[in-house]
Amino acid sequence: MIATAQNTEKQLQRLAAQRQLYTTAKQIFAWQVIVGGPIAVAGAVFVLLRPEFKVYIASWGLLVALCDLFWLTPWQKSLRGAAARVQEAFDCDVLELKWNDLKAGKHPDPELVKAQSTKYERWADTMPTLKNWYSPSADELPLHVGRIICQRTNCWWDSTQRRHYAAWLAGIAVLLFVVVCGLALSGGASLEALLLKGILPLAPALLIALRQFTEQREAADRLDKLKDHCGTIWKAALSGKSNTALTDMSRNLQDEIFENRRKAPPVLDFIFKRLRNEYEASMHHAADHYVSEAKAALRIT
């Protein structure tokens, strides 16, 4: 069953590997933010004090933007894809769903899982536990019903953290823009000076923030639609839909969950940890609610 399968050494190793892969992708993103954010802001402030360096600072901003576009972002996407496949292997085993070669490609190499999980062990004590990834209460229902609760949990949690993260990004980007432009205009700068001293040096930071905000909101919108679809499958389960039919519906849903994981940008670990601790009780409460609902509808004792 789900509660037992998810806590085996093999599956915990997979969870550790996917977390390490995602963390590496997040670290790359963090460097993108540092180079395009604080360093860009420092450059903008420096130009306000030393206008003769405006061309050099503007050129730096352009170089950072090109590196981000052609190197760092593709690398980050490759890591996210590998992490999504490892997570898919975990879900397929624990939820007893067939692997979809057409959607997910080949299974992750065991060497990759081992290497990444070993890296994760060095700092695992700073992160939330990997045990009981899904609420153990799902085991109180037949697998073809309990797995729907697990899939809904995936969608709800991921959407929630991404919407919080997008709101933070928007607030920080607007604050940076206002502060830098305010400093530039306070000295009576012309439009050209504002462009060179304020906006161009800040362009990498604004580009990263805008892209991340857009991608996080798009990912959250996709997840909300998947969560709504979980509701449709749930109603079918409570109406007595057959095991085979529900399993097929869950497999199709899992394809979309995998696709979103592959495409969605990472959420930095400090935000993940804060929200995970804050919302874990809510996730378990929701799982218990749906278990009770299913027991009543299907007359399970």
Q: Is residue 128 part of a domain?
A: no
pLDDT at residue 155, rounded to an integer: 96
pLDDT at residue 184, rounded to an integer: 63
pLDDT at residue 17, rounded to an integer: 97
93-97, 230-234, 253-257, 275-279 — which is least confidently predicted? 275-279
Residue 197 has pLDDT above 60, yes or no: no
Burial of 235 (0-12, 13-18, 19+ CB in 10 A): exposed
Residue 250 has pLDDT above 80, yes or no: yes
Residue 189 has pLDDT above 80, yes or no: no
Give the distance between the most distant pair of CA atoms in the chain.
78
Q: Is residue 280 part of a domain?
A: yes
CA 261, 267, 273, 278 torsion: positive or negative? negative
Confidence of residue 200 (pLDDT cuts 50, 70, 90): low
CA–CA distance, 112 with 79 (Å, rounded to integer): 11
Look at 143 and 212; give whichever has higher pLDDT: 143
Residue 233 has pLDDT above 70, yes or no: yes
- Cβ–Cβ under 8 Å, residues 125 and 30: no
pLDDT at residue 84, rounded to an integer: 96
Query: What range defines the domain where residue 115 resides?
Result: 2-120+139-298
Q: Is residue 127 part of a domain?
A: no
Burial of 65 (0-12, 13-18, 19+ CB in 10 A): middle
pLDDT at residue 187, rounded to an integer: 59
Residue 104 has pLDDT above 60, yes or no: yes
Q: Average pLDDT, whole number, for the chain?
A: 86
- pLDDT by residue (tens digit) across 41-94? 666 666 666 766 667 666 666 777 777 777 778 888 899 999 999 999 999 999
pLDDT at residue 41, rounded to an integer: 63
Q: Which of 24, 51, 65, 31 is nearest to 266 (CA)?
A: 24
pLDDT at residue 43, rounded to an integer: 66
Q: Is residue 150 part of a domain?
A: yes
Q: Is residue 132 part of a domain?
A: no
Q: Is residue 126 part of a domain?
A: no
- Cβ–Cβ under 8 Å, residues 236 and 246: yes
Count how many residues are written for the chain: 301
Q: Is residue 23 part of a domain?
A: yes
Look at 51 and 215; give whichever has higher pLDDT: 215
pLDDT at residue 66, rounded to an integer: 77
Q: Is residue 50 part of a domain?
A: yes
CA–CA distance, 283 with 272 (Å, rounded to integer): 14
pLDDT at residue 38, rounded to an integer: 63
pLDDT at residue 62, rounded to an integer: 72
- Cβ–Cβ under 8 Å, residues 17 and 120: yes
Which residues, 6+ apart, have CB-to-CB distance to 138 below 8 Å? Answer: 2, 3, 146, 147, 149, 150, 287, 291
- pLDDT over 70, % of the chain: 82
Residue 112 has pLDDT above 70, yes or no: yes
Work out how many domains the chain is built from and give that number.
1
- pLDDT by residue (tens digit) across 140-188? 999 999 999 999 999 999 999 899 888 888 887 777 777 767 766 665 5
Residue 196 has pLDDT above 60, yes or no: no
Three-state DSSP string of the chain: CHHHHCCCHHHHHHHHHHHHHHHHHHHHHHHHHHHHCHHHHHHHHHHHHCHHHHHHHHHHHHHHHHHHHHHHHHHHHHHHHHHHHHHHHHHHHHCCCCCCHHHHCCCCCHHHHHHHHHHHHCCHHHCCCCCCCCCHHHHHCCHHHHHHHHHHHHHHHHHHHHHHHHHHHHHHHHHHHHHHHHHHHHCCCCHHHHHHHHHHHHHHHHHHHHHHHHHHHHHHHHHHHHHHHHHHHHHHHHCCCCHHHHHHHHHHHHHHHHHHHHHCCCCCHHHHHHHHHHHHHHHHHHHHHHHHHHHHHHCCC
Confidence of residue 251 (pLDDT cuts 50, 70, 90): very high
Q: Which of 45-49, 66-70, 225-229, 263-267 has the highest mean pLDDT?
A: 225-229
Residue 31 has pLDDT above 70, yes or no: yes
